[in-house]
Amino acid sequence: MYKILSYKSYKAIIYLFFFILVLCCFQLTYFEGKGPPTTLCSLQAIHNPEDQNASAFLQSSFQNISFCTFFFTFPHFFVVCSPKPSKFFVKWRTLADWQWDWLEGQQRRNSSRRPTMKYVLTCMALLLPYSFAVPIAPDFPRASTERLKLVEAYLDKFFPSFHKTFYSIEEQLKEMQKYFHLNVTGKMDDRTMEVMHQPRCGVPDVSEFRRGPAKWGKNVLTYRINNYTPDMHPAKVHEVIAKAFKVWSDVTPLQFRYTRRPADIEISFAYGDHRDGNPFDGRGGTLAHAFFPAPNLGGDAHFDESEYWSEFGKEANLFIVAVHEFGHSLGLEHSNVRGAVMYSIYTFTNPNTFRLSYDDVQRIQRLYGNFNVSHESKDTVAQL
């Protein structure tokens, strides 16, 4: 069998096919250079729900083709590479010969092997491009590709998955849809995309880093306003911030005091990258973010200056957003209860009639207790 082709030619062919098959079968290729191995079939299934059954059938077929091709090539590779006098060579040579017996049946000794060899190599060359793990550039319209990138960026930021799997995008989509009470399909439907485009808080909805609730170990907290938005008079900013803190002090034993010195909670307005590892994205999208109680940045609240902040406006109401962010500053994570102030999607409520939801009150009181103690002063009016 091995005299049909020259030794060098046969060795080169085996090396080539074995190298390609290793890359294919173990899926060491990445879609656009990031994320887990992704195929055209799976991306189309996520983008278009009707393609899901066809995708599963094609992937199963191509996987079987890849396995059979790999099974044929593997022993021949070791026959060529093994030292001929060794027992290792004899074992792999036996397996390779057995494969030929299986392929050619009872006519192995009486017929020429050249046609069979050419036939097998030709089939391998033709089938490899259709192997399920070969990277194929998806032929989506430009808008669809941009939509997929937006979804990946949103999910990685707000629903991060630190245990990537082959279908991680679909799994993250399902988690996001379940969180926001949408139809759990794992597909990029219109309602899911609508939620992704709504203004929201920049804190992730799901995090695997936090273990247990974070809280302050004291009831008297200080805050400082480092700069002011040009959209509002500084005195109005102080008034709104104080009113937002009072929402939380009215239901807990906490007291908030303004200071011009370094404080527990530092408040600032910033554009884009402001050196905290969480850059803002311009107008719309992320409105603000805050850090849970901890040293250094812990408790600090940052507002995106690209927004147009107002006292009573609906687009980016400073009071509503501040109440939400100060909830994070006190240790509250997002809530998936619609109507709760800690719901991650921004919803305007008239500041004059605003009240915390039952969910918000229960969660903050689990951290700091009920408001059942007397305070000499719970005044948080800015001391200008």
Q: pLDDT tens for residues 99-147? A: 556 555 544 444 544 455 555 556 565 555 555 454 444 444 555 778 8
**Sequence ranges of the binding site for Zn(2+):** 201, 274, 276, 289, 302, 324, 328, 334, 342
The rounded mean pLDDT for the chain is 76
Task: Return the ∠ at Cα 203 (arms to 200 and 207), rounded to 5°.
Answer: 130
pLDDT score for 175: 92
pLDDT digits over 219-251, tens only? 999 999 999 999 999 999 999 999 999 999 999
Check 170, 266, 325, 333 and give the catalytic one: 325
Contact residues for 199 (Cβ-Cβ < 8 A; gap 6+): 284, 285, 286, 287, 316, 345, 346
Crossing angle (nearest 10°) for helices 142-158 and 168-179: 70
The helix or strand, by DSSP H or E, that contains position 223, with its residue range, turns out to be strand 220-225
311 catalytic residue (yes or no): no
pLDDT digits over 1-60, tens only? 444 555 556 556 666 666 666 565 554 444 333 444 444 444 444 545 444 444 555 555
pLDDT digits over 317-366, tens only? 999 999 999 999 999 999 999 999 999 999 999 999 999 999 999 999 99
**Sequence ranges of the binding site:** 201, 231, 264, 274, 276, 281-282, 289, 296, 298, 300, 302, 304, 307, 324, 328, 334, 342
Q: In the chain, helix, strand, coil percent, each to 5? A: 45, 10, 45
Q: Which domains does the chain have, with CATH numbers?
A: 142-197 (1.10.101), 220-368 (3.40.390.10)
How many residues make up the chain in this entry? Answer: 384
- Tell me the percentage of the chain whose pLDDT exceeds 70: 56
Amino acid at 31: F
**Sequence ranges of the binding site for Ca(2+):** 231, 264, 281-282, 296, 298, 300, 304, 307
Determine if the pTM surpasses 0.75: no
